[in-house]
Chain A
């Protein structure tokens, strides 16, 4: 630290240490390795910086969404990352193959050891699964253990083969459509095999169903990163577009959709939040059926919202599609789920088709597709507004009057308030309720006190009345009259009348 120059005074020397290392004349900072903020940023932006490369692979596909237009340097970094990843894959695939060979060459075909199964599984799950999805792999291993060995081996063999195949397709840059065809063919052929092959002859239909489910889940969880990446790259523009669209529709309230939801009631608010949560959670799940079950959860919450909302108006009919779809649209508008198109596309392309065709989950999924379509296409007519009104609301020039179903038409009631204000409102409502209960309690208490006093008075009065009506007079004791005692009175009688006393 000392060397430089003796020319400068001490104070100046200390200051010179603080200057930016690039010599631009501004002060540097140890947080920026001695550079000033501007020079530090400039250095960071140089693509040759090694830290930059090492950081990028960790960035999720989300990172791409944050950038409105992918910059050249980003893609350069990205392709390098892809290269590295495919190399890793190759290495792993090789080890996986060797594992395969080993296991099938073993002459005895001894399936008795469970560790063997695990080893076989580990070999493949390692190929594309990160530590994040170990729970599902564990559950899958547990599930395999419940199957008889020949069945487990057979199912696993199919899983491995299709996973490998699709992984290779991904690496070769196959389109999502090609991948989807492969996946659906696989589901179909596995389904046929499960139902017709003698190995599975004794399995019940429930067992076969769950085998299909586990297979689908395992395969797609393992392939998720590659497959979803291909999809979200394809749908990126649409994802961003709908996100923007929903943002610009933030002024729509339930009432615009003729949806009888009282957004300001705290209990309904809580249910709305739950539904929104499930809608957003969809993006975080990997297997198609897990994403689907988020949609189902969201829909069930919506039915609960509808039930609670309608109850207040004495309407106890079960909600039908006429009520459900507008409510779902409302929730999607409030939730603005991330990567909506990619997720819908993923479910559509990689879910076992039977699930979507006619099941309940398929119904809700279809409604979600309808909701998205509606949101994309809606115009002033769909909301019974004039074109002028609609345009002004869309541009943010004006806000619709705060019409909230069931609430006071107080112009300040706005349902699109931020989260904190919403919670505050909820608390206010609760407080109001508490206050009114408190008043009720006080009134009740007063009543009780008055009642008590009146009661005492009343009783006293009654007692007084009774006392007044029946004055207390003491009467002489009645004494029993002994017949013989009365004799005294007869003693003075003249002799002929004197009674003869017998003793």
Chain B
């Protein structure tokens, strides 16, 4: 992966957020393994999955983090999405509450991570269109108002899922490139941590100098 030899690959952390039972796990298994409620899912676990993408020559590694959706774990959100590059917010179109929950998450994410996080909202289970209670216009309007893209998906029928992750990756790459131009480090804790001084020792003198400096300021 040395920058002088091969083109660099970005690594992005993507968190899946959504109430329990909206289909987060189904969605990601469909995306990574193209399976639904299948006995032959080859992964031992479906909580951390990764996917390699190549978007017009730019390589990206998605690390997709499933989160526990139970009510009792809601307060843990910030620990999960710390340093996330992107988030997929999932709701069930037949469940009004799950959409409200998504709105709360968006607020939280924007407060905690600002605009550095790319958001996609997925209205899942469109195969159950008859039971829809969240009007699509409302959902799309909302998504637009918070700078997120809205997708209608069905893990069961494999609809719209590729698009969610493609769009998200594209935006994350753009965001990372912008950051690079601004001289920040994408995908590094240092980049956001503020302290960003980089030391490369090129001679013994420098090494000694640094060792000495620390001696007096520490």
Contact = CB atoms under 8 A, between A and B. Distances in A.
Interface of A: 100, 104, 157-158, 160-161, 164-166, 168-169, 172-174, 178, 181-182, 184-186, 188-189, 192-197, 200-201, 203, 205, 208, 258, 300, 303, 307, 316-322, 324-326, 353-354, 356-360, 363-364, 366, 369-370, 373-374, 377-378, 381-383
Q: Which 6 residue pairs of A and B lie closest in terms of their CB atoms, listed nearest first?
A: A353-B189, A205-B1, A358-B63, A321-B66, A161-B207, A172-B218
A319 B45 contact: yes
B145 interface: no
**From DSSP, what is the main secondary structure of chain A's interface residues?**
helix
A164 to B, nearest CB: 5
Contacts of B39: 316
Interface stretch (B111-119, B176-184, B195-203): B195-203
Contact of B48 (A164, A174, A353, A363): A363
A369 B44 contact: no
Given A165-B211, A317-B41, 4 more contacts: A195-B3, A200-B2, A318-B45, A360-B48
B47 interface: yes
A271 to B, nearest CB: 14
B35 to A, nearest CB: 10
Interface stretch (B73-81, B121-129, B147-155): B73-81
A158 B76 contact: no
B30 interface: no
Nearest to B82: A366
B94 interface: no
B41 A184 contact: no
B8 to A, nearest CB: 9
B215 interface: yes
Nearest to B50: A360
Nearest to B1: A205
A357 B188 contact: yes
A44 B25 CA distance: 62
7 contacts: A188-B198, A196-B4, A321-B65, A321-B68, A322-B66, A358-B187, A360-B48
Nearest to B75: A377
A381 to B, nearest CB: 7
Assign chain B's interface to a size class: 35 or more
A316 B63 CA distance: 24
Interface of B: 1-4, 6, 11-13, 20, 24-25, 29, 37, 39, 41, 43-48, 50, 61, 63, 65-70, 72-73, 75-76, 79-80, 82-83, 185, 187-190, 193, 195, 197-201, 204, 207-208, 210-211, 214-215, 218
A283 B46 CA distance: 28
Contacts of A374: 72-73, 76
B201 A158 contact: yes
B45 to A, nearest CB: 5
A173 B6 CA distance: 43
Q: Which of A100, A192, A201, A366 has the most CB of B within 10 A?
A: A366
A229 B109 CA distance: 36
A205 B9 CA distance: 12
Contacts of B61: 358
Given A322-B20, A373-B76, A185 B13 contact: no
A360 B47 CA distance: 10
B11 A363 contact: no
A197 B201 CA distance: 11
Contacts of B199: 185-186, 189
A318 B207 contact: no
Contacts of B82: 366
Nearest to A103: B204
Contact of A359 (B47, B63, B68, B76): B63
Contacts of A100: 204
B197 A168 contact: no
A172 B215 contact: yes
Contacts of A193: 200-201
Contact of B83 (A165, A303, A320, A357): A357
B188 A354 contact: yes
B204 to A, nearest CB: 6
Contacts of B198: 185, 188-189, 192
Contacts of B50: 360
B188 A353 contact: yes
Q: Which of B46, B187, B208 has the most CB of A within 10 A?
A: B46
B189 A356 contact: yes
Contacts of B11: 354, 357-358
B212 to A, nearest CB: 9
Contacts of A321: 25, 47, 65-69
A437 B208 CA distance: 74
A147 to B, nearest CB: 16
B2 A195 contact: yes
Contacts of A373: 75-76, 79
Given A165-B210, A321-B67, A374-B73, A185 B190 contact: yes
A354 B2 CA distance: 15
A357 B187 contact: yes
A364 B79 CA distance: 12
A316 B41 CA distance: 9
Contact of A363 (B1, B3, B47, B68): B47
Contacts of B208: 161
